[in-house]
Structure 1
Amino acid sequence: MDWDDIKVLLALSRRGSARGAAQELGVSNSTVTRRLDELEHQLQTHLFDRTPDGYRMTAAAERLLPTAEHVEELLLTAERQITGGNQHLEGVIRLTTPDVSGMGFLMRRLAKFAEEFPGIELELMPSYDALDLSRSEADIAIRVMPAGVKPPDYLIGRYLSPLTASTYVHPSLLNPDDPTDVSHLTWIGKNPIGQKESWLEETDFPDLPVRHAISNINLVVDALRARMGLAFMPCFAAFNHDDIVQVPGSAVVHHSDMWVLTHKDLRMSARLRAVREMIAEEFERIRHQLDTRAS
């Protein structure tokens, strides 16, 4: 069996569609379907049912999947161990960061880092998605995790900072007679409308209704500036925005933690270690913006 065909099996099992598998593998939809046809022809068996809702594994595919995943893990482990022993400050580094406008400070430092080490190529992937470091979807991840939750054992890294959150609003929406009274306002939520918003219990105004739903923090900031309501969000996202203010008297809570992480097999890689240390230094420099409880 061709390993490229097996990768199609794995990608289809994870994504459930030719388009999703193509995005994961970096190939065209037609390449995915062609390789699947070739694999099914070679094995003389039907692996996926093509349905209006996507690709569904047959019993034959389910029997083959554990072996395919085991082979994939062996190959990825070998790749990480080879990469992890590389002591040269050159090569590609894939870095995923939270997709928030407040991360601009890091971009400026990365630009300087790239000047200092011309042999390093940076591939940046702004995302909140849980990119799989064990499958080499990224080399280094800056991740926001619930307060007190530690990364899984197969990842190593450094704790960067607590991340505080509070309630923010456009100042023109505050009651001029009593700025602490926001009973006339509604929330900008995060989940699809109608779903439970667990973060409400962390706020001072859990009984106010949720009117809108916006999952992207950059759009939440834009919505606040457009006077669409209240939002509970990381304090650092409000920095440098004069038209967003914390509701007077609202609590500042330790909402989550920030980490810089990589797979443990890559711990000896000189270029990854250099980037992790640089990231940790930059986060220490702006820690007062991330953890505003001492402000």
Structure 2
Amino acid sequence: MGDLATLAVASHTTLDSVNLDFKRRIRILVMQIWMAMNWDDLHVFLEIARAGSLSGAARRLGVSQSTVSRRLATMEASLGVRLCNRRVGGALLTAAGEELLEQAEEIGDAFDLIERRIAGRDRRLSGRLRVTCTDNFLNRYLAPHLADFARTHPEIDLEISTSYQHLSLARREADVAIRTTPGPPDTLVGRRLFRCALAAYASPEMVADLPPDPDPARLTWIGWSSEAYNRLMITNHFPTANIRHWCNSQHDIVTMARAGLGVAVTGCFGADPDPGLARVYPEAITDTSMDLWVLTHPDLMRVARVRGFTAFIAEKFLADRDLFEGRRAAAAQTGAPAAERG
């Protein structure tokens, strides 16, 4: 009997030790999150607990379910324990999850207070706003609208980065990204506006010398110094195109076409209004994967200048939807009134 009592006491002591060790790890993890100011991981866990499912948390956070699942797995790996059991009907917190939830809510209240105080200063439409887009977008469409925005909001300083590389919004390399993409990363949120159309263009003098519906194989084409780009923009639509000239900027490709060097495939939004360019073929290319998105990081959605700019620029884009979809040139040729073009 004494041996059994000794064993029971030892077992209870061991369980208490394990439980104490787990609680200590919980506290260490929460302190690490606090020290790193990594509110995102804890926020994801809190939303899972509040929504009762990963899909519900994803909807509340405005991200994909795979992103929520990945962030939860990272936290569980850091702790070495499972925080919730995934079920068909949702997610049920484990004992470890309940322990973390209690402390996470305290941290969450503190972060909410910090966010409110910081957001109080960011309610003003002022400060630096970093926007990334391609040089073609900036030169062919955005510049006058950016000037209009700056006049409307004189206390906002614009920093524009033209790049074909996807700058990291998480690292604050940019606050807003204007991109054509079939689908943005899970880490970003924003609005899909419409699909951009393409067409083949050359100088009006070159087009005037061509027969109707010319053979693509008999034309000189201007391409990008990337085969993937050339497939996307040119050879997927004109398989026999003979690409003889190359450069690494869409804006420069258009400049070369305007000078009479050859045929370029580019967005209708910039080329149709350009008197130095004419369509080689009358029909626009609409079966593209070039969806136009205005994107930001979830953490920046409440910032007034970000919210103000994304709403402003989306309104400008949508007012010119027919231009981006390649319909305005056709409407002008048929004499359709402006109201019918949108």
2:316 aligns to what? 282
1:222 aligns to what? 255
Give the deviation of 1:236 after TM superposition: 1.6
Aligned equivalent of 1:119, options 146, 150, 155? 155
- Structure 2 unaligned spans of 5+: 1-31, 41-110, 331-342
Mark the CA change 1:250 to 1:186 in structure 2 (over 3 Å): closer, same or farther. Answer: farther
The whole-number CA distance in structure 2 between the counterparts of 1:119 and 1:283 is: 23
CA contact (8 A) 1:109 1:282 kept: yes
- Structure 1 unaligned spans of 5+: 1-69
CA contact (8 A) 2:198 2:265 kept: yes
TM-score where L is the length of structure 1: 0.65
2:132 aligns to what? 96
Please say if 1:134 is aligned against 2:167: no
Question: Which structure has the highest helix share of the two?
Answer: 2
The whole-number CA distance in structure 2 between the counterparts of 1:108 and 1:88 is: 23
Stretch moving more, 99-108 or 181-190: 99-108
1:34 aligns to what? none
- Compute the RMSD of aligned alpha carbons: 3.0
Question: Which structure has the highest strand share of the two?
Answer: 1
2:225 aligns to what? 191
Structure 2: which amino acid aligns with 1:210?
I
Mark the CA change 1:120 to 1:187 in structure 2 (over 3 Å): closer, same or farther. Answer: same
> 1:46-96 CA deviation, whole Å, 9 max, x = no partner?
xxxxxxxxxxxxxxxxxxxxxxxx99x9458689x8566732222111111
Please say if 1:210 is aligned against 2:246: no
User: What SS class does the counterpart of residue 151 from structure 2 fall into?
Assistant: helix
The whole-number CA distance in structure 1 between the counterparts of 2:250 and 2:311 is: 26
1:153 aligns to what? 186
The whole-number CA distance in structure 2 between the counterparts of 1:129 and 1:89 is: 28
Structure 2: which amino acid aligns with 1:278?
F
The whole-number CA distance in structure 1 between the counterparts of 2:228 and 2:186 is: 32
Give the deviation of 1:209 after TM superposition: 1.6
User: What SS class does the counterpart of residue 144 from structure 2 fall into?
Assistant: helix
**How many positions carry a matched residue from both structures?**
219
CA contact (8 A) 1:175 1:181 kept: no
Give the deviation of 1:177 after TM superposition: 7.0
The whole-number CA distance in structure 1 between the counterparts of 2:160 and 2:38 is: 21
Mark the CA change 1:292 to 1:186 in structure 2 (over 3 Å): closer, same or farther. Answer: same
Give the deviation of 1:233 after TM superposition: 1.4
Give the deviation of 1:104 after TM superposition: 5.3
User: What SS class does the counterpart of residue 170 from structure 2 fall into?
Assistant: helix
Greater relative contact order (CA < 8 Å, ≥ 6 in sequence)? 1
User: What SS class does the counterpart of residue 257 from structure 2 fall into?
Assistant: helix
CA contact (8 A) 1:90 1:117 kept: yes
Mark the CA change 1:97 to 1:263 in structure 2 (over 3 Å): closer, same or farther. Answer: same
User: What SS class does the counterpart of residue 143 from structure 1 fall into?
Assistant: strand
